[in-house]
Amino acid sequence: MNSMQPNFLNRLKKASDPIGVFDSGIGGLTVAKALKKILPNERLIYFGDTAHLPYGEKSKAALQAYVIKSIDFLLEQEAKLILIACNSASAAAFELAQAYLGSRVRVVSVIEPTVQYVATRFEGQEVGLIGTRQTINSEVYVKKLAEKAPSIQLRALATPLLANMIEEGFFNNGISQQIVAKYLKFFEAYPIKGLILGCTHYPLIKTDISHYLGDEIETIDASNIVVEAVRKTLVSDNLLACAPNSLKDQFFVSDFTESFAATTRIFFGEAVRLELHQLWE
């Protein structure tokens, strides 16, 4: 998966160091939540770049700048691994992040593990993909799937309203159901067997999506798949935390938003305290 990265020299890193996770906002919390469930000994430093939301509407150059600044911040927090918990940022800057980090710290994206999963599971079939404009227009899923499993026919649709809708707190209610139905009608023309949730915000409306698609079509929520990729990477670098950490997880945002605070509390409990970190002081 991270074959482009050289052998690791990060001997100075310790298993007790935190994993640095970032996204534009609450989307990455879906991956962070899965991470804590599956790997409870790991400590997290989460950064939500809420000041620059939505990432899905930004240019590739802008996203590359945000990604590098976010990585710098997470490195200052002693991260032993960086997880880009955002499809838009991964599409725009994963290779750049790998090159930037070199052998310092390993970086995992949400896209490669998902492509790997889809390639092995849906050979010879049609699969749908929804994501932000940035992710869909980059064609990153099309290109990576074509390399790994050319027999899979991908049907991709940009669903730009969804991340904003979720960030505003509309999920699993009448409004989100109607918008989901309007978008997903597109896939009725194709015999898809699975639908990739190509944005880390979308697991928050997984119930709406699965309800619309029915039992025959798999809703592909990458959270657990990505955590497995993180686990394997840590094991291979000898950095998997094997004992509980006495230090607390930390959550930073580049701008305070009520919905980020509310969702963090839903996911991680009342005690979570948000800290401010601006990418440009």
Give catalytic residues, as residue numbers: 86, 199
Q: Does 80 bind ligand DGL (CB under 6 A)?
A: no
Is 53 a binding residue for ligand DGL by CB under 6 A? The answer is yes
E-strand ranges in the chain read 19-23, 44-48, 81-84, 106-109, 126-131, 153-158, 192-198, 218-220, 250-253, 274-276
In this structure, what token pair is assigned to residue 88?
Answer: 């838009």
Token pair 């996203």 is found at 63
CB nearer to ligand DGL: pick between 132 and 177: 132
Among 18, 20, 27, 203, binds ligand DGL (CB under 6 A): 27
20 is a site residue for ligand DGL (CB under 6 A): no
Which of 80-88, 94-102, 221-229, 234-242 is the region at the interface with ligand DGL (rule: CB under 6 A)? 80-88
Site for ligand DGL contains 86 (CB under 6 A)? yes
Helix (H, G, I), strand (E, B) or coil at 81: strand
Tell me which amino acid residue 234 is. Answer: L
Q: Which is nearer to ligand DGL, 51 or 239 (CB)?
A: 51
Could you give the CA distance from residue 154 to residue 141 in angstroms, rounded to a whole number? 8
Q: Measure the CA–CA gap between 143 and 20, rounded to whole angstroms.
A: 27
Figure out which of the listed residues 18, 20, 48, 56 binds ligand DGL, where binding follows CB under 6 A: 56
Q: Is 199 in the site for ligand DGL (CB under 6 A)?
A: yes
Is residue 24 within the footprint of ligand DGL (CB under 6 A)? yes
Of 75 and 161, nearer to ligand DGL (C-beta) is 161
Q: How far is the CB of 73 from ligand DGL (least distance, A)?
A: 18
Among 55, 87, 82, smallest CA distance to 221 is for 87
Instruction: Work out whether 203 is an interface residue with ligand DGL (CB under 6 A).
Output: no
- Cα–Cα distances (Å) from 119 to 28, 204, 216, in that order, read 23, 24, 19
- Take residue 257 and report the two structure tokens written for it: 């938003």
Tell me whether residue 87 or residue 219 sits nearer to ligand DGL (CB atom): 87
Stretch that binds ligand DGL, among 19-27, 92-100, 176-184, 205-213 (CB under 6 A): 19-27
Partner residues linked to 195 by β-bridges: 128, 219
Stretch that binds ligand DGL, among 85-93, 178-186, 257-265, 267-275 (CB under 6 A): 85-93
Residue 88 sits in the site that holds ligand DGL (CB under 6 A): yes
The torsion angles phi and psi of 173, rounded to 5 degrees, stand at: -140, 180
Among 163, 192, 217, 227, binds ligand DGL (CB under 6 A): 163
- Which span (21-29, 94-102, 211-219, 229-237) binds ligand DGL, by CB under 6 A? 21-29
Chain center to CA of 51? 18
Work out whether the CA dihedral 139, 53, 90, 102 comes out positive or negative: positive
Q: How far apart are CA 120 and CA 257, in angstroms?
A: 39
Cα of 126 vs its chain's centroid, Å: 23
Q: How many residues bind ligand DGL (CB under 6 A)?
A: 17
Tell me the CA distances in angstroms from 59 to 91, 126, 212, one per residue in order.
Answer: 11, 29, 32
Binding site residues, ligand DGL, CB under 6 A:
23-25, 27, 53-56, 86-88, 132, 135, 163, 199-201
